[in-house]
Structure 1
Amino acid sequence: MALTRDFKRTVLARVQADRKFRNALLKEGIETMLAGDVDSGKAILRDYIKATVGFERLGVETGLVPKSLIRMFGPTGNPQARNLFSVISHLQRRAGLTLHVTARS
């Protein structure tokens, strides 16, 4: 199901105004990818990037080409692990977060 523009604007406003929500969105995107749903995780991270740093600035800050970043987090993107983890690491530092993987049985 496609998201409406009003919904996307609502999420954007919430991300910009609510630090807890913003941090939860970053965490959810990463956890979703780790759980095996890479496409949904990329979509969540794409929305997070758009609402926070933006692809142009992220490209400057990471040394990656903004158009490559946009493709990487797009529906058909297939990011290299090095680039993906570089971006995730940068987003965590920028947010002041350190996320850890915990094994559960």
Structure 2
Amino acid sequence: MALTRDFKETILARVQADPKFRDALLKEGIETMLAGDVDGGKAIIRDYIKATVGFEKLGAESGSSPKSLIRMFGTSGNPQAKNLFAVISCLQQLEGLTLHVTAQRHGRGA
């Protein structure tokens, strides 16, 4: 389902006004990828980047070209783990945020 312009503008405004929402959006993008939905996670992180730092600044901060970053998080992008984790690390630093992975058993063997 394509997002409407109004919806994207609403998310942008909320990200810029609400630090907890901003943090949650980045966390959700990473958790979505860890759950196996890499394309969904990339889309969330792409929206996060657009609403916060932007691809130009992220490129300058991470040492990657903005065009490469845009392709990496695009619908057909297939980032190498090294590049993806470098971007996530940079986003955490820029936000002053440290994310942690917590293991939880569920389903079989719980």
TM over 0.5, shorter chain: yes
Task: Kindly provide the CA deviation profile for residues 20-67 of structure 1, in whole angstroms up to 9, marking residues without a partner as x.
Answer: 000000000011011110000000000000000000110011010100
Matched positions, count: 105
SS in 2 for 1:100: coil
Q: TM-score, normalised by structure 1?
A: 0.98
Whose radius of gyration is greater, 1 or 2? 2
Looking at structure 1, the residues matched to 56 and 65 of structure 2 have their Cα atoms a distance apart, in angstroms, of 8
Counterpart residue identity of residue 74, structure 1: G
Unaligned runs of 5+ in 1: none
The equivalent of 2:90 in structure 1 is 90
Say yes or no: does 1:61 pair with 2:61: yes
Say yes or no: does 1:46 pair with 2:62: no
Looking at structure 2, the residues matched to 70 and 17 of structure 1 have their Cα atoms a distance apart, in angstroms, of 24
The equivalent of 1:77 in structure 2 is 77
The equivalent of 2:24 in structure 1 is 24
The equivalent of 2:108 in structure 1 is none
Runs of 4+ in 1 over 6 A off after TM superposition: none
TM-align CA RMSD: 0.5
Residue identity over aligned pairs, in percent, reads 80
Looking at structure 2, the residues matched to 61 and 96 of structure 1 have their Cα atoms a distance apart, in angstroms, of 14
Cα offset for 1:14?
0.3
Say yes or no: does 1:102 pair with 2:102: yes
